[in-house]
Amino acid sequence: MSIAARFRIQRAHFLLDVDFSIPAQGVSVLFGPSGCGKTSLLRAIAGLDHIPGGLLSVGDTAWQSGETFVPTHQRALGYVFQEASLFPHLDVLGNVEYGLKRVPIPQRKLSVERLCALMDVTPLLKRKVDTLSGGERQRVAIARTLAANPRIILMDEPLTGLDQERKLEILAYILAVQREFHIPVLYVSHSRDEVNRIADYLVLMDSGRIMATGEVHEIFARLDLPLAQDSEAAVVIDAIVTSHDEEYSLTELKFPGGTFALPSLSLAVGARVRLQLAARDISLTRELQSGTSILNIFPTTVEAIAPAGAAQVIVRLSAAGVPVLARITRKSAARLELQPGSLVYAQAKSVALLS
Partner 1 sequence: MMLSPEDISALVITLKLAVLTTLILLLLTTPLAWWMARTRWRYRYLLEAVVALPLVLPPTVLGFYLLVMLGAHGPVGKFMTAIGGQPLAFTFAGLVIGSVIYSLPFVVQPLQNAFAAVGPRPLEVAATLRASPLDRFFTVAVPLAQPGFVTAAVLGFAHTLGEFGVVLMIGGNIPGETRVASIAIYDHVENLDYLHAHWLAGILIAVSFVLLAVVYGFNRRFRLLQS
C-beta closer to partner 1: residue 40 or 312: 40
Q: Are 153 and 146 in contact (CB under 8 A)?
A: yes
User: CA 19, CA 29: separation in Å to the nearest integer?
Assistant: 15
Q: How far is the CB of 129 from partner 1 (least distance, A)?
A: 11
Q: How far is the CB of 3 from partner 1 (least distance, A)?
A: 16
Write the secondary structure of 40-74 as one string of H (helix), E (strand) and C (coil). HHHHHHHCCCCCCCCEEEECCEEEEECCEECCHHH
C-beta closer to partner 1: residue 127 or 330: 127
User: CA 183, CA 151: separation in Å to the nearest integer?
Assistant: 6
C-beta closer to partner 1: residue 8 or 108: 108
Q: Are 183 and 152 in contact (CB under 8 A)?
A: yes
Closest CA to 204 of 7, 6, 20, 2: 20
User: CA 167, CA 143: separation in Å to the nearest integer?
Assistant: 16
C-beta closer to partner 1: residue 97 or 303: 97
Q: How far is the CB of 98 from partner 1 (least distance, A)?
A: 5
Q: Are 46 and 79 in contact (CB under 8 A)?
A: yes
Please, where are the H alpha helices in 123-163?
A: 134-147
Q: How far is the CB of 99 from partner 1 (least distance, A)?
A: 3
User: CA 354, CA 216: separation in Å to the nearest integer?
Assistant: 14
Q: How far is the CB of 346 from partner 1 (least distance, A)?
A: 45
C-beta closer to partner 1: residue 58 or 319: 58
What does DSSP assign to residue 320?
T
| Strand, coil or helix: 223 | coil
Q: How far is the CB of 72 from partner 1 (least distance, A)?
A: 4
**Site residues (CB under 8 A) for partner 1?**
46, 48, 71-74, 77-79, 81, 83, 85, 87-89, 98-99, 102-103, 130, 144-145, 148
CA-derived radius of gyration, the chain: 22
Cα angle value 276/42/143 (rounded, 5°): 75
Please give the sequence-ordered ranges of beta strands (E in DSSP) within 91-189, or none if there are none: 152-156, 185-189
Q: How far is the CB of 335 from partner 1 (least distance, A)?
A: 57
C-beta closer to partner 1: residue 89 or 126: 89
C-beta closer to partner 1: residue 146 or 199: 146
Q: Are 282 and 347 in contact (CB under 8 A)?
A: yes
C-beta closer to partner 1: residue 103 or 353: 103
Strand 272-278 and strand 322-329: the pairing is unpaired
User: CA 272, CA 234: separation in Å to the nearest integer?
Assistant: 19
C-beta closer to partner 1: residue 86 or 216: 86
Q: Are 267 and 273 in contact (CB under 8 A)?
A: yes
Q: How far is the CB of 79 from partner 1 (least distance, A)?
A: 4
Q: How far is the CB of 69 from partner 1 (least distance, A)?
A: 13
